[in-house]
Amino acid sequence: MTAPAIEVSNLTKQFGGKAVVNNVTLSVRKGEIMGFLGPNGSGKTTTIRLMCGLLEPDSGEGRVLGHDIRTERGAIKRKVGYMTQKFSFYEDLTIKENLDFVAGLYGLPKRREAVRETLEDLGLTSRKDQLAGSLSGGWKQRLALAACVMHKPDLLMLDEPTAGVDPKARREFWDEIHALAHGGLTVLVSTHYMDEAERCHRISYISYGHLIATGTVAEVVHNAGLTTMIITGPNTGEAEKRLRGADGVDQIAPFGATLHVVGRDGDRLRAAATRVAGETGNVVNPAETSLEDVFIQLMSAATDNMQ
């Protein structure tokens, strides 16, 4: 087995005395797509910055692509493509000028050719002299991705790349990510979207700086040990009211005409759901626990730990 692309342990980073990243240990295998999940402000961006050499950790250590994240940051920067959360290329430069700039900074040997090829791959050759700022959100994101992989990195770190992008563009973006991964590229991508998380080989969940769960989607769902019941019928509104705070019920979420009820203790949940469904004239059925249910659970658990 080859060495992992990312191998960090006990990473901690504080800002103003507050630990934004706390003892995070993470391992990403070569060629896999690792989803990095967590609520807003959970330390995802900081963790990514630590790993791509933008920040120095206060404690902990690790290697990215075989380079020490403390002492070999320059080498890491040359081999990693990092796509920031916000579009961070120059809006007052044209598409071609932006690509040319990036190619020059990485010192690509055949710069003009690389730029031309990237433009062609993007399908932007005819619009190459358009200012990057005039592109739509989806195109900006494609441009940013193309610029990040132009120097053929071994590892790609994407920080919420699809925020504000329409579903079709998102779908295409993920197809592109998978194509890159097939080519041997390792990808670490942070996201809020559950459907995106399900397209990753493995996921890691971080909350308040702590890494809480990691594994394949199925593993994470299974390890959460949650039971889910679906209540359907004419009176789900009344059922929701009665189930709030009921013994064994951790989450209630209406989905259209149905009600998802989730709990950590299967027996108690089933008992409560069956009882309430009977009282209100609804039907209850067991269901698959979704990744979203797991995350809601993880988030509330983490909040409880903090308080």
Partner 1 sequence: MSRYFSFGRLWVLLVKEVIQMRRDRITFAMMLGMPLLQLILFGFAINTDPKALPAALVAPTQDRFTRAMVSALEMTGYYRFILPDATAEGAEELIARGDVAFVVTVPSDFGRRIERGDNAQILIEADATDPSVASGAISTLQTVASSALTRETGATGSSLPVEIVVHRRYNPEGITQYNIVPGLLGVILQMTMVMMTSMALTRENERGTMENLLAMPATPLEIMLGKILPYLGVGGVQVAVVLASAKVIFNVPFVGPLVVVLAGVFVFVLALVILGYLISTVARTQMQAMQLTFFFFLPSMLLSGFMFPYRGMPAWAQVLGEIFPLTHFLRLSRSVMLKGAGFSTVSGSFLALIVFALALALLALRRFRKTLD
- What is the Cα Rg of the chain in Å? 23
Single residue of 8, 34, 102, 298 touching partner 1 by CB under 8 A: 102
Closer of 77 and 127 to partner 1 (Cβ): 77
Closer of 87 and 193 to partner 1 (Cβ): 87
Q: Does 36 bind partner 1 (CB under 8 A)?
A: no
**Residue spans of beta strands (DSSP E) within the chain:** 6-15, 18-28, 33-37, 59-64, 67-68, 80-83, 155-159, 186-191, 202-207, 210-215, 227-232, 251-255, 258-263, 283-287
Single residue of 2, 17, 18, 92 touching partner 1 by CB under 8 A: 92
Single residue of 80, 114, 221, 262 touching partner 1 by CB under 8 A: 80
CB-side exposure of 23: number of CA atoms within 13 Å?
A: 2
Per CB under 8 A, which region of 53-61, 185-193, 215-223, 275-283 contacts partner 1?
A: 53-61
- Alpha-carbon gap, residue 68 to 252, rounded angstroms: 45
Single residue of 4, 53, 60, 263 touching partner 1 by CB under 8 A: 53
Contact (CB, 8 A) for 138 and 164: no
**Count, residues near partner 1 per rule CB under 8 A:** 26
Closer of 104 and 183 to partner 1 (Cβ): 104
Query: Nearest approach, Cβ of 99 to partner 1 (angstroms)?
Result: 12
Closer of 131 and 169 to partner 1 (Cβ): 131
Per CB under 8 A, which region of 78-86, 193-201, 208-216, 229-237 contacts partner 1?
A: 78-86
Per CB under 8 A, which region of 25-33, 80-88, 247-255, 276-284 contacts partner 1?
A: 80-88
Query: Nearest approach, Cβ of 147 to partner 1 (angstroms)?
Result: 9
Contact (CB, 8 A) for 184 and 31: yes
Closest CA to 261 of 282, 240, 278, 237: 240
Q: Could you write out the DSSP letters of every residue in 68-115?
A: ETTT-HHHHHHHEEEE-SS--S-TTSBHHHHHHHHHHHTT-TTHHHHH
Single residue of 3, 105, 179, 218 touching partner 1 by CB under 8 A: 105
Q: Does 101 bind partner 1 (CB under 8 A)?
A: yes
217 contact partners, CB below 8 Å, separation of at least 6: 197, 198, 200, 203, 291
Query: What does the binding site for partner 1 look like in residue numbers (CB under 8 A)?
Result: 52-56, 74, 77-78, 80, 82, 84, 86-93, 97, 101-102, 104-107
